[in-house]
Chain A
Amino acid sequence: MIPTSTPRSDPRSNQLLATLPQEVWERWQPYLEPVDLVLGQVLSEAGRMSAYVYFPTSAIVSLLYMTEDGGSSEVAVVGKDGIVGISLVLGGNAMPNQAVVQSAGAGYRLRAGAVTSEVQRGGIVLQMLLGYAHSLMGQMAQTAACNRYYSIEQLLCRRLLLALDRVPSTALMMTQELLANLLGVRREGVTAAALKLQRAGVIRYQRGRIDVLDRARLSQRTGDCMGTAVAA
């Protein structure tokens, strides 16, 4: 959260920031604050206004939905492909989801006011952000279908791929407990599925770290769960 002076990742490693036209980029650059996003950090609460939007560069953020009767699961994943706080762009007065950092890393934040004034200008930035809103909806719809039909193993494979697409390495820092919470399943289920993947040589699992050894087979085991997801 606190802007630091350590060497930063290039803000343009976020794909949305990378596609900003030069003129907009120059307008935004002075206001983009580098931030370290810490595991478990809540960037916005469901039902609240958020003071900032976030552009992850190496961190991964989960959007979680909680039902009124207490069930909670991840509905979408935002990494270097996107922005956390799209509701602001859509003019919604609060976030429908809780946004929690699930993989520590870097990112940039921008004051909500700066985004809303940019959105009011309309034009290419608004179009770009709206396009991202659409891909996020695609991800949520796909999550819904997967939640209905896929086994824990398939859900786990899909989730690992979603993370893998958003980090620079093949090592994912994730505990089984966290994965169980994200998928909305019991921890024992995740343990069994992870063991199976490990025995098959697809991943290596040790103390909160998962190394993906064979991405192709991970993808095969997902079935077609990723198939119709909208490319981010």
Chain B
Amino acid sequence: MHNLDYCSLPAAENHLIGLLPRKDRARLVAVCEPVHLVPGTVLCEPGSTTREVYFPVQGHVSLIADAEGKPGVEVSMVGREGMLGVQLALGVTTSPLRALVQGAGESWRLSASAFRTELANSNALHRILQRYVFVLMAQLASSATCLRFHQISPRLARWLLMSHDRAQTDSFQLTQEFLAYMLGVRRVGVTVAAGALQRKGLIEYRRGQLSVLDRKGLEAAACSCYASDCQTYVEQLG
């Protein structure tokens, strides 16, 4: 089974930056500043102009599609395997998705204008980001179908694996409310699904602290969307 570790991402690097030729990488990093991502921070509101882009290293961010009158639902996640603000590489200055920091950690940040300058100077950056767009698009497609067909428990397992890949730690702070928001379900649904994973010994969840105990078991419990997403990523950017 594929998971993001197959890309053997160096822990202290954003993978997209890592794929750049050395010269392009040095130029990009020179205009980046390190920032600490704080959970709960909204980095981008739907429809607002993108002023900054992020290349996370440890932190990770949820992309949430709004549905008016409803709380919305997570449709993709961005961590060290990706970037936030890729729409600028498509010549678009806004995104319809809300970007909400989910996991604390370091990230590179640069202004939209500095990023555009780099895009104009680096064909490699363009090519890599277009492939990343392909990966994101495949992820959105799988999320759409996943939300129609898959039960809460396998979706929760998928979500935990995606977070685990990006957080690089076995244990994270997570309220049930937050999980319910991410999965677009009621809190009681999360309670039941998390309870089932816990009884199987795959996770431990108490007082808002969730620990992954059996990663392989979680992979088996997740819906097939996790493996397909990872496979697409590895094919395009691994």
Chain A's interface size range is 35 or more
B141 to A140, Cβ gap below 8 A? yes
Given contacts A92-B236, A131-B90, A228-B66, contact A144 B147 (CB under 8 A): yes
Given contacts A67-B149, A145-B66, A148-B147, contact A97 B73 (CB under 8 A): no
Residue interface mask A84-119, B partner, CB < 8 A = 1: 001101111110110000000000000000000000
The answer to whether the Cβ of B136 comes within 8 Å of any Cβ in the partner chain is yes
Residue interface mask B128-155, A partner, CB < 8 A = 1: 0011011011101111111111100000
Please report the C-alpha to C-alpha distance between residue A224 and residue B67 in the assembled complex, in whole angstroms.
7
List the one stretch of A32-40, A53-61, A69-77, A194-202 in contact with chain B.
Answer: A69-77
Please report the C-alpha to C-alpha distance between residue A66 and residue B87 in the assembled complex, in whole angstroms.
26
Which residues of B (219-238) have their CB < 8 Å from a CB of A? 223-225, 227-228, 232, 235-236
Of the candidates B68, B127, B144, B223, the one whose C-beta lies within 8 Å of that of A147 is: B144
In terms of DSSP, what is the predominant structure of the interface of chain B?
A: helix
Chain B contacts of A146 at CB under 8 A?
67
Chain B contacts of A185 at CB under 8 A?
148
The answer to whether the Cβ of A8 comes within 8 Å of any Cβ in the partner chain is no
The answer to whether the Cβ of B97 comes within 8 Å of any Cβ in the partner chain is yes
The answer to whether the Cβ of A184 comes within 8 Å of any Cβ in the partner chain is yes
The answer to whether the Cβ of A141 comes within 8 Å of any Cβ in the partner chain is yes
Given contacts A134-B90, A140-B143, A147-B148, 19 further A-B contacts (CB under 8 A): A67-B149, A67-B228, A68-B227, A69-B223, A73-B149, A89-B130, A90-B131, A90-B137, A94-B235, A96-B137, A96-B141, A131-B91, A141-B76, A142-B96, A144-B75, A144-B140, A145-B67, A145-B184, A148-B73
